[in-house]
Amino acid sequence: MRSCSDGAGAVRARGPVMALAGVLVAAAMASCVRARLPKYQASDWGRASVAEGRRLFRAACIGCHGEDGRAKVPAARVYFPRPRDLTKGEYRFRTTASGVIPQRDDLVRTIAMGLPGTAMPAWGEQLDAQQLMSLALYVETLSPRFQDEDEAIEDDDILVHPGRLHPPLSSTALIARGRDVYGRMKCADCHGAHGRGDGPSSKTTRNQDGTKSDVFDFTYGEFKGGNRAVDIYRTFMTGLDGTPMPSYADSIPDKTDRWALVYYVMSLRRPRGVWFYLSQRPSWRDPADCD
Amino acid sequence: MAAVALLAVAAGRADAEPRFAVREGMQCSQCHVNRTGGGMRTPFGISFAQTNLGTFRQRGLFDPHLGGSVTIGGNLRLSNRTLLPTRTELDGVARKRRASNSFESSESNLYLLADTIPGRLAVYVDETVGPEAAFNREAFVLVQGLPVDGYIKAGHFMLPFGLRIPDDNAFIRAATGFNYANSDLGIEMGIEHGPFALKLAVSNGSLGSSDTNRSKQITVHATAVSQYVRGGLSFAWNNNSSPDFKFQSITSGAHMGGRLGRLTLLGELDWIHAITDPEPYDQTAVYFESNFEAHKGVYARFRFEAFDPLVSLANNERDRFVAGVSWFPIQLFEISAYYRLNRDITQRIESNADEIVVEAHAFL
């Protein structure tokens, strides 16, 4: 995991060269620090407005999602994964159960933090909390699911309360336990024995819309839903709607097992060499994992 | 000579960035309202510029909508150019040119787009507002949303030919005449379907001034774009003859581009055949550019150009090597610095002088 807290410390180093290096490191980390989740309270939603969200949507989002949110734009043909059709109201990164619409906070999180490894940028670097909330409100208006009373979120539908999660400290024993869970849950069928996304089913899995599923390579380590343990925990609990990735909320009832699996897949991340640096486009890897 | 140098500087406007189109595997129209590239950015283009091109993204979002269906945009470039001292020797006689330094505002453009019928009909104006006299670069009506993603453009516009690289001084743009300084009056039709685009323009062929002859210029441009490579062919025929002056030109070109990880490559080869009195002549121009994205918003750039102004004559070629860095420290702002090594025939001392250019570029 990258840390965002080391940048300023180097300035204390002796000598002008080290001080300069520290300034450069701090400057480089500055963009990382800005990618934090916006802080707001439930009462702040009253200040957000659909009209403001619509204006922001036109300014920032229609290039990929289209004026009507259907993503019927040329960019959709180029980018992989394709920009989401917002009229379907189907979202992968949620705190709610599979098949349930996301909470507004989930939408704010995705808009603010972006989806690393995709074309979805982290708008939290440029927009404040009220603007992000307004955008989330407007995005809700694009899909009838959010207006349908039958689709309303009930208490039981919320599987993850990020504020109430208390991840245990990672340990060798916990990672070893996670490896057992990984095998028991047959994660290797899709993600492969070493987590490279090359399991036997990876070549045939399809998303619900018929497109080929992009099975995640854990060694890459840039999770679209965020790189923190709580982000990965959330994905395991809720699954990724529209993809073959199921929810493990029922399959892994033991909380320690859940965290063990989280830390095991995090341990699969591998350092990258020169070839990886040369073959990647940095623009698509916004730093969305700062906490 | 000074006038020639001044003209070359004044013509050095820059706009579109095909390196990004090649890098992302997109048509020019993805980021620019003008389907042939350059000028005002589309909603996607302005979002892309605000999120993908800044090393340290700053808070705040530029909203190009003035309200309703009217949007604005602009480009501003300020540069400092140092011509280094040079010395040539001809027939044993040494010639020297002293160093010079100057600030230049090579581009100050404002764009206005009225989507009168969204997705169908738009009116677009690209106006140069400085640094000297204001003049119109483009003003056209755009009808789009036709079958096969077709469109029709009528008015004053830049003709579709080759890569719309951001340097009118480049040989491929200066020699062919297809650059930001040479808009023309006419009509353009095109289709963009999937990875393919075909554009046909019929224009006066008189570089935007009133037409004085009976024929027209025909320009055809075809491209195929994929995620990693692109290629295209361009052709133009222009009969600009008058009763007392015979001049016809046939210009054809091929361009390619490709991406390999952080490295983006662009290239174009143009051939110009001019039919004029007393005898026809041929010219060729070559362009190669590489861009290496070292970090988000930081690009190391290298460029090679060659121009043969008279193919039938040996040893008269001109070459340029350009190496430099382009940095987008924050969104919508670019600083670039490069060294340009110029090589020309000995008689032309001005175009043998190497240059160091530092440029600031703000856009919206």
At A35 the pLDDT is 56
The domain spans of chain B are 2-363
Interface of B with A (CB under 8 A): 23-27, 29-30, 42-48, 50-53, 55-65, 118, 194, 227, 260-263, 293, 295-297, 331
Contacts of B331 in chain A (CB under 8 A): 126
Confirm or reject CATH 1.10.760.10 for domain A42-158, answering yes or no.
Answer: yes
pLDDT digits (tens, 9 = 90+) for B329-359: 999 999 999 999 999 988 888 889 999 999 9
Q: Say yes or no for a CB contact (<8 Å) between A282 and B262.
A: yes
Contacts of A278 in chain B (CB under 8 A): 261-263
Choose between B55 and B68: higher pLDDT: B55
Whether the CB-CB separation of B36 and B221 falls below 8 Å is answered with yes
Contacts of A120 in chain B (CB under 8 A): none
Q: Which of B23, B35, B44, B148 to mutate to test the interface with A (most CBs of A within 10 A)?
A: B44
Three-state SS letters, chain B: CHHHHHHHHHCCCCCCCHHHHHHHCCCHHHCECCCCCCCCECHHHHHHHHHHCCCCCCCCCCCCEEECCEEEEEEEEEEEEEECCEEEEECCEEEEECCEEEEEEEEEEEEEEEEEECCCEEEEEEEEEECCCCEEEEEEEEEEEEHHHEEEEEEEECCCCCCCCCCCCCHHHHCCCCCCCCCEEEEEEEEEECCEEEEEEEECCCCCCCCCCCCCEEEEEEEEECCCEEEEEEEEEEECCECCECEEEEEEEEEEEEEECCEEEEEEEEEEEEEECCCCEEEEEEEEEEEEEEECCEEEEEEEEEEECCCCCCCCCEEEEEEEEEEEEECCEEEEEEEEEEECCCCCCHHHCCEEEEEEEEEC
Q: What is the DSSP letter of A88?
A: G
Q: Say yes or no for a CB contact (<8 Å) between B293 and A282.
A: yes
How far apart CA A66 and CA A85 sit, in angstroms, is 9
Q: pTM to 2 decimals?
A: 0.86
Averaged pLDDT, B141-164: 94
Among A36-40, A146-150, A282-286, which is the least confidently predicted range? A282-286
How far apart CA B256 and CA B233 sit, in angstroms, is 9
Closest CA to A233 of A175, A177, A179, A159: A159
Residue A22: pLDDT band (50, 70, 90) is low
Q: What is the ipTM of this complex?
A: 0.82
Q: Say yes or no for a CB contact (<8 Å) between B30 and A74.
A: yes
Contacts of B297 in chain A (CB under 8 A): 283
At A12 the pLDDT is 43
CATH number among 3.90.550.10, 3.40.50.1970, 2.60.120.10, 1.10.760.10, domain A164-284: 1.10.760.10
Mean pLDDT score of chain A, rounded to an integer? Answer: 84
Residue B261 region by backbone torsions, left for phi larger than 0, else alpha for psi between -120 and 50, else beta: left
Averaged pLDDT, B177-201: 92
Interface size, chain A vs chain B, as Cβ–Cβ contacts under 8 Å: 93
Does the pLDDT at position B231 exceed 60?
yes
Instruction: Provide CATH code, domain B2-363.
Output: 2.40.160.10
Mean pLDDT score of chain B, rounded to an integer? Answer: 89
The domain spans of chain A are 1-33, 42-158, 164-284
Residue B97: pLDDT band (50, 70, 90) is confident
Choose between A81 and A90: higher pLDDT: A90
Averaged pLDDT, A63-68: 92
Does the pLDDT at position A111 exceed 90?
yes
Residue A11: pLDDT band (50, 70, 90) is very low
Q: Tell me if residue A203 falls in helix, strand or coil.
A: coil
At A125 the pLDDT is 86
How far apart CA A229 and CA A176 sit, in angstroms, is 16
What percent of chain B has pLDDT above 90? Answer: 64
At A8 the pLDDT is 38
Q: Tell me if residue A248 falls in helix, strand or coil.
A: coil
pLDDT digits (tens, 9 = 90+) for B296-308: 899 999 999 999 9
At A252 the pLDDT is 95
pLDDT digits (tens, 9 = 90+) for A244-282: 999 999 999 999 999 999 999 999 998 888 888 888 776
Contacts of B55 in chain A (CB under 8 A): 31
Averaged pLDDT, B58-63: 90
Picking from B42, B57, B59, the nearest residue to A63 by CB comes out as B42
Interface residue A67 vs chain B (CB under 8 A):
yes
